[in-house]
Chains A and B, each alone.
With several copies, the nearest count.
Chain A
Amino acid sequence: MPLRLVFLGRLADVAGAGEREVAAVPSIAALLAGLEPELSAALGAARIRIAVNGNVVADRAMFTLRDGDEVAFLPPVSGG
């Protein structure tokens, strides 16, 4: 099963869509490496949080992805 990617806020503009499916890979680093360079850089920024299946990932370097995971990229939330 592929991974389902979700891009929130301005990241959807960078990705060209709010969602995308990609072939399963075992790590977030491998996932980012398979994307367009501009998108990969935007998603990999330190201030972008990542949630997998609705849970925010504490340490993205150590996280193991599984087939079918939903990976959401969350930019800082907007101010009031």
Chain B
Amino acid sequence: MADVRLLTGSFDAAVEIERFLAANGEAGGVASFIGRVRPGGGVEALELSHYEPLTLPGMQALAAEVEARWQVTGLLIVHRSGVMLPGEAIVLVAAAAHHRREAIEAVDFAMDHLKGDSWFWKREKRADGWHWIEPRERDFSDLARWDEKSAN
């Protein structure tokens, strides 16, 4: 059963990984990805907004798809919303599995879909105020990788 959380406050990614390792002691492999607000580039703060009736159900549906697609014995998806400062964690995905490849691909798939296909809207605060961030072409190409794999 996946652990899916949409948080409005900050979280400690290393502590979450430690707990995940302890909670999934039977798994030989644990892969993870942590996304943080990148310092520099003139970004003073980042705000992610969500739409409650869609965002959390969307994350839960993604977790279910990951669990259907890979043999993971544990899955953790934590995503921040609200205003974040440079260096703070935005997202953590961790997957536990018997086999290395399952764990790594589960994290990779979940991250691609969280980034390119989930209901978050993001804006950055710079010296001249807040700016909405538009979709990036790379997110669509990252997502398309999985469709190609399904077609094989």
Residues of chain A whose beta carbon lies under 8 Å from any beta carbon of chain B = 6, 8-10, 13, 51, 53-54, 56, 70, 72, 74-80
B24 CB-CB contact with A under 8 Å: no
Instruction: For residue B85, give the distance in angstroms from its CB to the closest CB of chain A.
Output: 18
Decide if B51 touches A79 in the complex (CB within 8 Å). no
B40 CB-CB contact with A under 8 Å: no
Decide if B121 touches A9 in the complex (CB within 8 Å). yes
Cβ–Cβ < 8 Å partners of B123 in chain A? 9, 78
Are A77 and B53 also in contact (CB < 8 A) when A9-B132, A10-B132 are?
A: no
Q: Number of B residues whose C-beta is below 8 Å from A?
A: 23
Are A79 and B49 also in contact (CB < 8 A) when A9-B132, A51-B54, A74-B119 are?
A: no
Cβ–Cβ < 8 Å partners of B121 in chain A? 8-10, 75, 77-78
Give the CA-CA distance A52 to B55 in the complex, in Å.
14
Give the CA-CA distance A7 to B100 in the complex, in Å.
30
- Pairs across A and B, CB under 8 Å, 13 listed: A6-B51, A8-B51, A9-B49, A9-B123, A9-B132, A51-B54, A72-B53, A72-B54, A76-B134, A78-B123, A78-B133, A79-B138, A79-B139
Cβ–Cβ < 8 Å partners of A8 in chain B? 49, 51, 119, 121
Instruction: For residue B139, give the distance in angstroms from its CB to the closest CB of chain A.
Output: 5
